[in-house]
Amino acid sequence: MAIVRSRELLPNWDEIPAKLLQYCIKEHRDGIERIQKLEDYYKGKHEILKRDLGGDDKGLPNNKLVANHAKYITDVASGYFGGDPVKYTGKQIEPITDAYKAADVASHDSEMVKDLSMYGISLELHYMSSDDPPIPRVSCIDPRQIFLVVDDSVEYKSLFAVHYYEKRDMENKAIGWYVNVYTANKIARYEIKDIGGEDFEQISSTNHYYKTVPVVEFWNNEEQQGDFEQQLSLINAYNTLGSDRMNDKEQFVDSILKLIGASLGDTEEDAGRTIRMLKKYKVLELPAGVDADASWLTKTLNEADTEVLRNALKSDIHEFSMVPNLTDEKFAGNVSGEAMKYKLFGLEKLAETKERYFVQGLRERLKLFANILQVKAQAVAINDVEITMTRSLPSNDTETALLISQLSGHVSNETLISQLSFVKDPVAENEKVMAEKAQALKDQQAAFGMPMGDQNDDEDPVTDDEDEE
């Protein structure tokens, strides 16, 4: 989450005082606990694992079952929203798309989308590679190690960014911190012993040519929350219910033997011997002539009520996260593409919200790439760039082909071809189709000895005026 400061605080935002760095780092570190918790839940380290039965309950079964709905929600939402590469179209966009391919931005976007779903924010750092010649690259940085500082205007213009991480020795022991500060024109590198202190020792200061702070912050939504963040209490309740259900099962197995009119022995040693014999031979002899009886004291398990509650919790998790349970019977069978869209309506609304904010970050990325390519004397125009994001949805190409045949003659071929999932470049595909049709016509003409269109173009056709002469 970006940190806000007034632009009037400093006359020159290329020189950041140590005191301001100290305050901003402290403010950022106050939010790390939340980010760490969200990552723990994604990795399966849920609250139920910390449960400890003490006191009178010590020694009872203490199962700790984790149903990782957090990972499921993030993986499905990320796969649906960012499973297919982003497409860019526009005039003079080729230098940027070529640079994106060289930097493998498509894979980078997958990391960004996953961070957005987990943490609610994602930050990327722009830099020049160590190649010869260097090329622009981007890196997805852990949001616990980087933050962006913006002004308090309605535009939230970037002032500077800070990337800090531990400095380690040969034994991998932490011996301090590196702090990199990125301004609109410079990169300043510092060392510090205590990340909460202000004794910044500058190591280096270099210029960069991005013409703005080379860090972009992406938002998942207006609240900057992760996709499963509001469902943590439901996930905890689901884990607790499953764990207690397992505990009840174990306690059911470890039932208490109730004896009436009989005894296992007068001493603890005699009782222990009788119990061992009982376990070995599975036979219990009761005294004759008395109303003796043996039975188990068991706890009645109401599985029906428990299952209703489990299904209710599971349904709420998927409903409020807007990520459907794809293993549900509602998704079984051969449903049409239109029917599938209705089933995924909530997920589509979630993706639309994500897309609005994600595209804003993509446009900031375009500006940074355009700035650095212009420095390298490559003409780039980004004002008319159209950004297209495609949902990663199973497609019914048979149904699509039927639709195309019905619309043929009413919609352009290029538009129709673009509806097919296996066609990556509709323009190139349409050109291939036209070329194949032209070649087929020539072959047909040649087969019938009618080389139409092979007249000598150099010969002027006879006009009516020439006939009159």
Distance of CA 161 to the CA centre of its chain: 23
Helix residue ranges, H only, 120-264? 232-253
Share of the chain above pLDDT 90, in %: 49
Model confidence at 466: pLDDT above 60 = no
Contacts of residue 275, defined as CB under 8 A and 6 or more positions apart, other chains included, come to: 264
Model confidence at 282: pLDDT above 80 = no
pLDDT tens-digit series, residues 118-134:
999 999 999 998 888 88
The mean pLDDT of the chain is: 84
pLDDT band for position 378 (cuts 50, 70, 90)? confident
Instruction: Identify the CA nearest to 221 among candidates 120, 144, 150.
Output: 120
Residue 228: other Cβ atoms inside 10 A: 26
DSSP states of 371-400: HHHHHTT-----TT-EEE--------HHHH
Please report the pLDDT score of residue 351 as a whole number: 92
Lowest-confidence region among 158-172, 185-199, 282-296, 355-369: 282-296
Share of the chain above pLDDT 70, in %: 87
Helix (H) or strand (E) run with residue 122 in it = strand 121-128
Lowest-confidence region among 86-100, 304-318, 330-344, 452-466: 452-466
Q: DSSP letter for 243, please.
A: H
Higher pLDDT, 81 or 59: 81
At residue 442, the 3 state secondary structure works out as helix
Residue 227: other Cβ atoms inside 10 A: 26
Question: What's the start-to-end Cα distance of the chain, in Å?
Answer: 87
pLDDT band for position 381 (cuts 50, 70, 90)? confident
For the chain, the structural domain boundaries read: 3-219, 229-336, 401-451
How many Å apart are CA 236 and CA 371, to the nearest integer?
47
Please report the pLDDT score of residue 469 as a whole number: 45
How many Å apart are CA 469 and CA 451, to the nearest integer?
31
